[in-house]
A and B are shown apart, each in its own frame.
Chain A
């Protein structure tokens, strides 16, 4: 009996029948996450309902050296939850209880399958919310957010997932259930949780997460401004930041992205705009009012027109709808597209956008730009038609070239979507073998057998038992970041 068959037969005794999927047709429904061009049918799918069941499944995987991959809602855009053909896919969608909401402590305790927005909904009656808000917040899970260290538009002011998770129960790749962190801040010992967050499921599976709840601001105001082009919108962004204002969010869309959003959701963005900027300010009412007048002036000075302040929540939602639906909306103007995710220092924005425009013109590949302008996180959408021979490959090339632009400008190949299976080959553009080896020391500590989500993040797995490679430490100078 092969290892997977051995695990399968054990798992059948550990989990109820309805929590174990072996039927080929049903397995296929889990063959990809949000990055749909990578597909692998998992060897086995389990849908555990308790932490103990997760631990029991992982322990069996460990015993038989069978790989396992955790999956939340499957909305990831880097293939982080791509299954393993000879492995177990652990789906957390039935671990979706909100275990506690304690506004007096500014904490909620939730299972990993809980939907991001549901945490805020549960906290709303008390005047609190969960700050990280990826665009997919209506469907993405907290466990997936933790694995990817998800951001969202409002992380400019409030920080990403890592800033909002205090503790988690983790099933280690050995099958042990351990608690990392404490509900209070500053847990003593190594901040293992800080490393698990964003490790894309390569260090274990979380079964319970304690998050920080954030007090709702007294006032929120959302400004939509049109510009002739992204240069002007970028100049307005820089002016806002230079004025010492930290908006809750600064989002930009270029003409092509606007066109797509209008076609899809009729968000009513100003006609003739070469770019729009969404600036959201929140906080105490008097401060928000003061900041709004400054932002309005700076946008106008930078050539902004058709400025509009959302009069109420419904108008705010409409402004945001255009932005949040942008990725899917591009489907209206192109049969296929790649969602790219790169980061640059904000001051490099005009230069990089011009370079992207040049790439697009030279290759004939259209690129729509949607991004978190406040923190330099670009989401170029590279359009193509897979039915036309050669187009997909050219799109891939443009997409890769955009990442190169990010790296050469001192940025990153991913700001929030993760490395996953999609970008592992790009990671060496940012990091040397020493860097990646050093990161993988943590991997070796948690998962010496390499069974937790193998093949993700690192292009070359480090063999944990090996004698440390004779790297040229004696001759290579110590390097610093740029």
Chain B
């Protein structure tokens, strides 16, 4: 899908200007950060103007003493983290893809490994400046962490896929960088060992900052499966004071070994895949995607699976039965599943099975991204309760249905 126009405003005032012009000419607008997840969700039903926010990439204020960051949405997470690290601080938000921006990650509501202890991205955001589709600027929240004055629009914007408003500033709470950290890695071949390891760490009082699972896709056919299953891993992150981390790393190692892991390694560095979506492993060139919302035929089908923790064994085994690679915050009940190229009917079967299992455990299975032939064959978002209320919210913010129309749940 090609847009007729691209606008690259330099600041918040220009964002409002552009949106007013778009409103006057009834143009459908899709906001864009660095384009790493522009193809997520459904393709927009109309697209006239891409609102490229890459020039709004400033760190406006880093109030180190208050542990608060004010930044523009186009700022790249990696750049922000580098800046904060110099002051011994960090934002508890993980970049899911090379070049991922703050705004895009808020819009997709994506949280990485650090969510286990620090909470999801919506718990990090404390204030927002936005522009409504008609060009009206507004703010909610502020730059103090504790604040219950007025409605919290920032939470509403998290995960709204650019369908309600365009962000121009985001304010986050920060955390100190830990003095020490250790990644404790236990190799696993499949769910049968991964599940008890994750359970053991999650229920011990070792306060892990993250418990991640990485399971590559099993070999495609059943015959090969017993022969050479590629190795995955359960990785536990502990952070804190040097003495405390050393002690806890040993405790985690012992716990994992006691639970059945054979060779457990403790390292100071994260594994290369840490926090990244499986989609980007083999395709780093996707950093520079063209300015279009075009799903690519090269894409794997990427699902987000959520569940309460007792669902872990069933979710893992069902996903593996359908050939999925899995990665994510297993102990928090959020995994990304990548289904390698498969016929639409096989993806549809996998999705149906995963939806059933996730629903049994209080969760959902959502298609984040997929090749075009699969998008048209499946219901990407699945059943959504309270959809009528969501429609009414969309109607209030965007009555002429021009902001990322059709991209979100229920055709919003």
Contacts and interface: CB of A to CB of B under 8 A. Distances in A.
A198 B396 CA distance: 20
A186 B238 CA distance: 24
B309 A441 contact: no
Contact of B63 (A197, A347, A419): A347
B19 to A, nearest CB: 9
Interface stretch (B94-102, B125-133, B227-235, B257-265): B125-133
Interface stretch (B153-161, B270-278, B289-297): B153-161
B68 interface: yes
A453 interface: no
Interface in A96-124: 102, 104-107
Contact of B396 (A444, A457, A477): A444
Interface string B307-328: 1111100000000000000000
B146 A375 contact: yes
Given A162-B155, A192-B393, A439-B140, A184 B123 contact: no
A442 B146 contact: no
A192 B66 contact: no
Contacts of B150: 419, 427, 430-431, 435-436, 439, 457
Contacts of B406: none
A194 interface: yes
A187 B244 CA distance: 35
B153 A191 contact: no
Chain A: interface size category = 35 or more
B284 interface: no
Interface string A143-154: 000001101000
Interface core residue of B66, B332, B389 (most chain A CB under 10 Å):
B389
A172 B146 contact: no
Interface majority SS (helix, strand, loop, mixed), chain A: loop
Contact of A286 (B151, B168, B243): B243
Contacts of A414: 147-149
Contact of B362 (A182, A199, A417, A419): A182
A387 B241 CA distance: 55
Interface string B51-79: 00000000011010111101000000000
B145 interface: yes
Interface string B2-18: 00000000011101100
B147 A412 contact: yes
A185 interface: yes
Contacts of A291: 241
A372 interface: yes
Nearest to A161: B148
A283 B207 contact: yes
Nearest to A412: B147
Contacts of B131: 478
Interface core residue of B61, B88, B309 (most chain A CB under 10 Å):
B309
Contact of A190 (B65, B70, B241, B393): B393
B283 interface: no
Interface stretch (A48-56, A265-273, A467-475): A467-475
A183 interface: yes
Given A104-B310, A187-B364, A412-B147, A194 B155 contact: yes
B144 A105 contact: no
Interface of B: 11-13, 15-16, 20, 60-61, 63, 65-68, 70, 88, 109, 111, 115, 119-120, 122-123, 127, 129-132, 134-153, 155-156, 158-160, 164, 168-169, 171, 175-179, 203, 205-207, 240-241, 243-245, 247-248, 304, 306-311, 332-334, 358, 361-364, 366, 381-382, 384-387, 389-390, 392-397, 408-410
11 contacts: A185-B332, A190-B156, A286-B241, A410-B142, A412-B148, A427-B150, A439-B138, A445-B389, A477-B13, A481-B142, A481-B169
3 closest residue pairs by CB, A with B: A183-B362, A194-B155, A184-B363
Given A149-B148, A178-B385, 18 more contacts: A162-B152, A167-B362, A180-B386, A184-B333, A186-B159, A194-B158, A287-B245, A290-B241, A345-B66, A376-B146, A412-B147, A414-B148, A415-B144, A439-B150, A445-B395, A479-B137, A481-B129, A482-B142
